[in-house]
Structure 1
């Protein structure tokens, strides 16, 4: 029996918490359906792949920021190294890159800086199929991520009842090979100071922005939600807030904004837009959703960015170095309007 419940999901084809947000009455609709053990979410797009209705009031506009922390690159061969910039903001120990572990791939720096005409200086996260491990352990997965954690400033951690926004710029090549299991590029994870399963535990990320290689449909963009663990310690099935064509977000700089209220009856919103023309590509609206896994006042939620992928199907991944680009991470606390 599942003890953690998704309090509310908008499941109709008229107002779906999925790609393009709430669908209108546009012509020539094509319907994409994402099915899970727990429910089905339906999304509507028109034949051109543009949103049917982008007039939905954005919750981001009513957010009143009370604190803001920014992490930005300063350019290649200029200023501080990428690692120094990251740790100066997120705290020492916030980097989970292979070269940070003596039993991992130490011969290469895994987060470097670059610059271009669209966003200027930015970070490049690197992955090497045959060389990178998972925090120094050779296993069925590899990781190159940055995170906020218990040693990070309080402004970077989400405590019970708090509302936070996370925004960043993101670019990924269509040539990057996705795992058939998972390739995560953003996570919201709980951090609990006990292993109590009564409220879901902190083992499973609550939210992941992922790409998956699907045999039948090709590469797929996914935003997954997890209820966490049952009280008996067994895991629950993921719920897919969207499933969409991966190519809709590749080879372009994107603006991504996430807003979350960390409560049992919390909220989660995500919007992905293309920088070139500000077109909204993804709009997720979950105004009532369980976004709290903590059991004490010390517990919190933290973000992670980078590339964390399965190697269980390593034959399907490229041997070439993969690159994922991020710029201008902003973490804010504030209040959400009605």
Structure 2
């Protein structure tokens, strides 16, 4: 990550903790602050940074292994058009969770968490008419519904990147994807884990020193049961009708996790 991108993220985290969405005045009065809980490096931790790794779960493309790996300071998620998930109408190369040594961080009701990282979306990773998710928040376990999804979606033929809360039925925000292709984009994401109307989120994308989007929602459902667990990678449907599916990849770097305490 360049020094300028580090400065941008550092400045964002250096702001008042009271800017966190859903933070009550009473909590803010007690000088709540973001405490770093997770700071892996691709070169040092590799895939050990994550709770689980879902690399070609169906073993559909052995010649392409590994699809997920560390390269220098980045984590790379490679997707080939021949790759298939266990449900053969879709593709999935993802990692889950925030591992710290022999354990992992658990996001539970009432907690507020923040993730910052940089992502490189090549022009070969296009928005589609069906789902293409590059980040999710879910309750662990098979068949659970996504709580948060950051997706690449075609809207009236235009490539966009958006953040949705499927359980709450809320579109948090959407912006053009084309200007973010073939460059590093900084992500700053906050979530207060809450059931019913007790949750909140904030989603910020920055390209260099330019804020591309900064959207928040409060009073939303961000919890199903047990806990919330982040996922990163490429998870996309094969039902696209725009001809946008091709061999591609996604790069992530400088992943950081913070808890508001």
Q: TM (normalized to structure 2)? A: 0.78
Q: State the partner residue of 2:217.
A: 286
- Taking only aligned residues, the RMSD between alpha carbons, in angstroms, comes to 2.9
Q: What is the distance in 1 between the residues matched to 2:212 and 2:184?
A: 12
Q: State the partner residue of 1:85.
A: 46
Q: What is the distance in 2 between the residues matched to 1:315 and 1:281?
A: 25
Tell me how many residue pairs correspond in the alignment: 233
Q: State the partner residue of 1:23.
A: none
After TM superposition, list the pairs within 5 Å mapping 1:167-316 onto structure 2.
167-191=116-140, 203-214=144-155, 216-227=156-167, 238-264=169-195, 265-274=198-207, 276=208, 278-294=209-225, 299-313=226-240, 316=243
Which one of the candidate residues 88, 107, 118 is aligned to 2:63?
Answer: 107
Contact kept in structure 2, 1:67 and 1:155, CA below 8 Å: no
Q: What is the distance in 2 between the residues matched to 1:186 and 1:153?
A: 24
Higher strand share: 2
Q: What is the distance in 2 between the residues matched to 1:263 and 1:149?
A: 20
Contact kept in structure 1, 2:58 and 2:84, CA below 8 Å: no
Q: Aligned-pair distance for 1:153?
A: 6.4
After TM superposition, list the pairs within 5 Å mapping 1:23-62 onto structure 2.
58-59=19-20
Quickly say closer, same or farther: Cα 1:151–1:311, change in 2 above 3 A: farther
1:126 aligns with 2:87: no
Q: TM (normalized to structure 1)? A: 0.62
Gaps of 5+ in 1: 1-56, 75-79, 116-120, 196-201, 229-237
SS at match of 2:224: coil
1:331 aligns with 2:257: yes
Q: What is the distance in 1 between the residues matched to 2:102 and 2:224?
A: 20
Higher-Rg structure is 1
Q: What is the distance in 1 between the residues matched to 2:112 and 2:101?
A: 18
Quickly say closer, same or farther: Cα 1:227–1:159, change in 2 above 3 A: same
SS at match of 1:316: coil
Higher helix share: 2
Quickly say closer, same or farther: Cα 1:191–1:124, change in 2 above 3 A: closer
Q: Aligned-pair distance for 1:154?
A: 6.1
Contact kept in structure 2, 1:188 and 1:208, CA below 8 Å: yes
Q: What is the distance in 2 between the residues matched to 1:154 and 1:287?
A: 31
Deviation per CA, 1:50-71: give whole Å up to 9, x if none: xxxxxxx8438x7613451122
1:95 aligns with 2:21: no
Q: Aligned-pair distance for 1:151?
A: 11
Contact kept in structure 2, 1:258 and 1:271, CA below 8 Å: yes
SS at match of 1:176: coil
Contact kept in structure 2, 1:209 and 1:223, CA below 8 Å: yes
Contact kept in structure 2, 1:125 and 1:324, CA below 8 Å: yes
Quickly say closer, same or farther: Cα 1:259–1:152, change in 2 above 3 A: farther
Quickly say closer, same or farther: Cα 1:158–1:179, change in 2 above 3 A: same
Q: Aligned-pair distance for 1:220?
A: 1.9
Q: What is the distance in 2 between the residues matched to 1:164 and 1:281?
A: 22
Q: What is the distance in 1 between the residues matched to 2:93 and 2:70?
A: 15
Q: State the partner residue of 2:40.
A: 71
Q: State the partner residue of 1:44.
A: none
Contact kept in structure 1, 2:138 and 2:230, CA below 8 Å: yes
